[in-house]
């Protein structure tokens, strides 16, 4: 059975690009356009991995959602990839190796989507989860 990826982003173009990349790699993809919708979908169907934007209904919605996912015992071990352009838009520097508990995600990727990088990181995180 194909691994299920939940793509959380308020930008329809990003959701469509992620769908093309991930389905071409054999993954099953579902979508949420907000943090609230994402938690509802996780509670209803779960996910093997979450691909998460930062800036949605608020500039920090993705950060808050990552905390909520990590606090829920059912999803605590679910890999989270943060896909963001926050550095370009706000000048905020994100340093994955130094984030610690501050940003409880497994990886950061920059927008726009780079298909080979996204496929490689998803495969790596899902393989580590077995």
Domains of the chain with bracketed CATH: 4-129 (3.40.50.2300)
Q: What is the pLDDT of residue 35?
A: 95
Of the candidates 42, 52, 36, the residue with the CA atom closest to the CA atom of residue 72: 42
Pick 59 or 24 by higher pLDDT: 24
Q: Which two tokens stand for residue 90?
A: 């706000």
Distances (CA, A) of 90 to 19, 29, 70, 81, 84: 26, 29, 25, 20, 11
Q: Is the pLDDT of residue 86 over 90?
A: no
Do 10 and 53 touch, CB atoms closer than 8 A? yes
**pTM of the predicted model as reported, rounded to 2 decimal places:** 0.89
Taking only the tens place, the pLDDT of each residue in 41-67 is 999 999 999 999 988 998 889 989 999
List the strands of the sheet with 49-52, edge to edge: 28-32, 4-8, 49-52, 80-84, 107-110
Query: Quick one: how far is CA 11 from the chain centroid?
Result: 13
Q: Look up residue 34 and give its two tokens.
A: 């907000």
Residue 91, pLDDT > 80, answer: no
10 Å CB burial of residue 92 (0-12, 13-18, 19+) is exposed
């Amino acid at each position: 059975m194909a691994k299920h990826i939940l793509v959380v982003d308020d930008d329809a173009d990003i959701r469509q690009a992620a769908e093309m990349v991930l389905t071409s790699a054999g993954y099953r993809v579902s979508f949420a356009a907000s943090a609230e919708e994402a938690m509802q979908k996780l509670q209803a169907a779960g996910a093997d991995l979450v691909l998460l934007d930062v800036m949605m209904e608020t500039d920090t919605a993705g950060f808050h959602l990552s905390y909520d996912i990590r606090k829920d015992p059912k999803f605590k071990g679910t890999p989270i990839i943060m896909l963001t352009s926050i550095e370009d838009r706000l000048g905020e520097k994100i340093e994955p190796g130094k984030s610690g508990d501050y940003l409880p995600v497994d990886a950061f990727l920059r927008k726009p989507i780079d298909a080979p990088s996204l496929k490689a990181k998803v495969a790596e995180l899902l393989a580590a989860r077995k």
